[in-house]
Amino acid sequence: MAKLITSITLTLIVAFAAAENQNAAMVANCAKTVTVQSGDTLTFIAVTNGWAAARDLLPLNPGLDINAIISPGQMICVAAPGLTPAGTPVGGQPKGSPMPSPTTNSFPSGAPDVNPQEQCIKTVKIVAGDTCFSLAVSNNFQGTQPGTKLQSVNKALVNRVVDCANLPIGEKVCVDCYATPNIPETSNCPYHLANGCKRTTTIKAGDTLTNIAMSAGLASLKDLVAINPGLQPDATIYPGNNLCVLV
């Protein structure tokens, strides 16, 4: 009986949290919205639309709780007049910025105006159950030993030694960055999803990049790489990696 009561209580809490964000309003002059897809997070929505962090969406969505649940089908405002990522016109690329090559580990058009010398562009707080591998994979590190790559970029960019055998709960770790020729370790940065991505998929056991591209209706693997800048088609992918499949 105690377990049943606990289960019902948790269900009500989750339902209340979801309802709380469902009721969040958007600014009246919102210029661009996205529809939440299964697996989306506010951080993902913010970063893929040019913002640095989930909290940047708050002025666009009064009442939004960045710690509460978002649900598929919910609408989130990501731009409004006077409220767009620095240097990024709504629906376009920063003025005067060349389109990056699909092989570079940066966003295509609409990339956030981030100084390359501020390389760490996203941190997460370590929670119970996290591992270097899970943190790396959920943030799109690929190739062999993603956890080791996570350690490498943290040491190079924020001078932090990440002890994968003893992750300190509550502390932050860098999980996203841009590749820059000045810092060789940034070749270990994860790939990114295209800015304005309309649909994503989470890699499952047995998936291949070619099969994902075909299932999404893309003409070739090359098209998948083009909308996931920095994705290495010959490197290992893992269940839990996320991919953009429609822009």
Residues 155 and 174 in one domain: yes
Residues 172 and 217 in one domain: no
Is 18 within the bounds of a domain? yes
Is 161 within the bounds of a domain? yes
44-58, 82-96, 163-177, range with greatest mean pLDDT: 163-177
Residues 167 and 207 in one domain: no
Over range 6-26, report the average pLDDT. 48
Look at residue 108 and tell me whether its pLDDT is greater than 50. Answer: no
**How many percent of the chain have pLDDT more than 70?**
74
Is 163 within the bounds of a domain? yes
Look at residue 211 and tell me whether its pLDDT is greater than 90. Answer: yes
DSSP state of 161: -
Of the two residues 213 and 7, the one the predictor is more confident about is 213
Q: Which residues, listed in sequence order, are joined to residue 246 by a DSSP beta bridge?
A: 199
Residues 210 and 237 in one domain: yes
Is 89 within the bounds of a domain? no
Residues 213 and 177 in one domain: no
pTM: 0.54
- Lowest mean pLDDT across 117-126, 127-136, 161-170: 117-126
Over range 161-168, report the average pLDDT. 92
Is 193 within the bounds of a domain? no
Quote the pLDDT of residue 220: 92
Residues 75 and 10 in one domain: yes
Quote the pLDDT of residue 216: 94
Look at residue 90 and tell me whether its pLDDT is greater than 50. Answer: no
End position of a domain, from candidates 79, 105, 138: 79
Is 85 within the bounds of a domain? no
Of the two residues 6 and 44, the one the predictor is more confident about is 44
Look at residue 95 and tell me whether its pLDDT is greater than 60. Answer: no
Is 180 within the bounds of a domain? yes
With beta carbons less than 8 A apart as the criterion, state whether 190 and 142 touch.
yes
Look at residue 68 and tell me whether its pLDDT is greater than 70. Answer: yes
Residues 125 and 176 in one domain: yes
Q: Is 129 left (phi over 0), alpha (psi -120 to 50) or beta?
A: left
Over range 20-33, report the average pLDDT. 74
Return the CATH number at 42: 3.10.350.10
Is 145 within the bounds of a domain? yes
Domain assignment of residue 213, given as a range: 199-246
- Tokens 């609409």, located at residue: 110
**Strand ranges (DSSP E) for the chain?**
32-35, 75-79, 120-125, 172-177, 199-202, 242-246
* Distance of alpha carbon 247 from alpha carbon 231, whole angstroms: 16
Helix (H, G, I), strand (E, B) or coil at 174: strand
Domains held by the chain: number: 3
Quote the pLDDT of residue 231: 94
Residues 74 and 127 in one domain: no
DSSP state of 129: T
Helix (H, G, I), strand (E, B) or coil at 62: coil
DSSP state of 101: P
Look at residue 142 and tell me whether its pLDDT is greater than 60. Answer: yes
Look at residue 101 and tell me whether its pLDDT is greater than 70. Answer: no
Phi, psi (rounded to 5 degrees) for 244: -85, 135
